[in-house]
Amino acid sequence: MMKERFSKLLLGEDMSGSGKGVCTAVAISNAITNLYATVFGQNLRLEPLPPEKMSMWRKEMDCLLSVCDYIVEFSPSFSQNLQDRIVEVMTSTPRSDIYMNLPALEKLDAMLLDILDSFRDTEFWYAEQGSLSSDRTKSGSFRKVVSRNEEKWWLPVACVPTRGISEKSRKLLQHKRDCANQIHKAAMAINNGILADMKVPDTYMEALPKCGRASVGDAIYRYMITTERFSANYLLDCLNISSEHEALEIADRVEASMYTWRRKACINHSKSWDKIKNQMADGDKNDKNYILASRAESMLFCLKQRYPGLSQTTLDASKIQDNKDVGQAILESYSRVLEGLAFNIVAWIEDVLYVDSTTRQQDK
């Protein structure tokens, strides 16, 4: 198994062996994404992961993550030699981003699997949508099926006893939801951090519109440029975003404008954006492009907070596709799939809690 996995990574998904495949970073990122889909893709309910999938996840992730053990940085350090003299030696330590984030991700991974594993002998259960009627018959009158996710027909439907689940179970469910929520936030924070660290591809910068206003649209631009006290949340409220799809489209446009304005600010001050951000005197911060870029940044931040399940923006996707750094590839993809799993667990628990509260209300 391991030989096959590693060999395919080495071939960069190009089975012809001619080396025209993707680079290692992209190959590993895809491998983690695909492994997640294989292991968790059909698990759409609160129940322990089947043992064979659990062992597959552990073994293959172990394999993929092991590459991180060999990513090191060298730094000078001092040590005492036999003659008690202090000598300077180069020591290798794990790369700091890996050292900081990988153990955290492994912990989050284990916690999520523990949560799933705890759903044994639960008071709720699932009925497949297709088999609803037969299930209803079998289970008799004391069980009610509340169908919530009519728009998500592929999800199994949670069922609870007529009087709802016990107080104790409900408390426990709420506790697990809060846990999963925290895990989701932690994974998302790591993922955002890694994505922010990743290099913006040259192709993205080259394809940017010349004018940030055109990209973001007149309405948004006018609010961004005229207001004295800018509130990203107020602006988002005004936009009446109706779907995640629309939110993603706006995020893409705001992000593109942000980079256009940043570039203009950098050209005007012949400094890099990081320098501008850190070194600028307050007076300089009245620069129009600087203000617009900062406002776009805060708008993007609020958008991502409002839509925690938002798909990757065009920039994020192109960063991942263009990335050559193996360490970042592993951290980004690992945190991304954990973020997805945590998000799903929260949603599944909320499904059960919703069905439970509806059932209890009907019972009154």
Binding segment toward its own copies, per CB under 8 A, in 92-100, 221-229, 271-279, 351-359 = 92-100
Binding segment toward its own copies, per CB under 8 A, in 235-243, 252-260, 263-271, 319-327 = 319-327
**CB of residue 203 to its own copies, shortest distance in Å:** 17
Q: Which is nearer to its own copies, 276 or 326 (CB)?
A: 326
How far is CA 262 from its chain centroid?
Answer: 25
Which residues in 98-127 contact its own copies (CB under 8 A)? 98
- Tokens (6 digits) for 324: 């050559």
Q: Which is nearer to its own copies, 12 or 212 (CB)?
A: 12
Binding segment toward its own copies, per CB under 8 A, in 61-69, 105-113, 115-123, 236-244 = 61-69
Binding segment toward its own copies, per CB under 8 A, in 59-67, 161-169, 189-197, 338-346 = 59-67
Mutual angle of helices 288-306 and 218-226, in 10-degree steps = 120
Alpha-carbon Rg for the chain in angstroms: 25
Which residues in 188-227 contact its own copies (CB under 8 A)? none
| Sheet arrangement for strand 125-127 | 125-127, 157-161, 143-145
Q: Is 142 exposed, middle or buried (0-12, 13-18, 19+ CB in 10 A)?
A: exposed
| Binding status of residue 6 toward its own copies by CB under 8 A | yes
Binding segment toward its own copies, per CB under 8 A, in 8-16, 155-163, 286-294, 295-303 = 8-16
Q: Which is nearer to its own copies, 201 or 217 (CB)?
A: 201
Helix (H), strand (E) at residue 107: helix 96-117
3-state DSSP call for residue 187? helix
| Binding status of residue 2 toward its own copies by CB under 8 A | yes
The single residue among 73, 114, 117, 246 that binds its own copies, judged by CB under 8 A, is 73
The single residue among 67, 214, 291, 302 that binds its own copies, judged by CB under 8 A, is 67
Q: Which is nearer to its own copies, 94 or 217 (CB)?
A: 94
Q: Which is nearer to its own copies, 164 or 327 (CB)?
A: 327
Query: What one-character-per-residue DSSP string does 65-82 give?
Result: HGGGGG-EEEEEEEEE-T
The single residue among 60, 255, 316, 325 that binds its own copies, judged by CB under 8 A, is 325
| Binding status of residue 146 toward its own copies by CB under 8 A | no
Among 140, 141, 145, CA closest to 124 = 145
| Binding status of residue 179 toward its own copies by CB under 8 A | no
State how far the Cα of 284 lies from the Cα of 51, in Å rounded to an integer. Answer: 60
Render the burial of 97-122: b for 16+ CB within 10 Å, e for the rest.
bbeebbeebeebbebbbebbeebeeb
Q: What share of the chain is helix, strand, coil (3-state, %, to 5)?
A: 65, 10, 25
Binding site residues, its own copies, CB under 8 A: 2-4, 6-12, 15-20, 23-25, 28, 63, 66-73, 92, 95, 98, 323-327
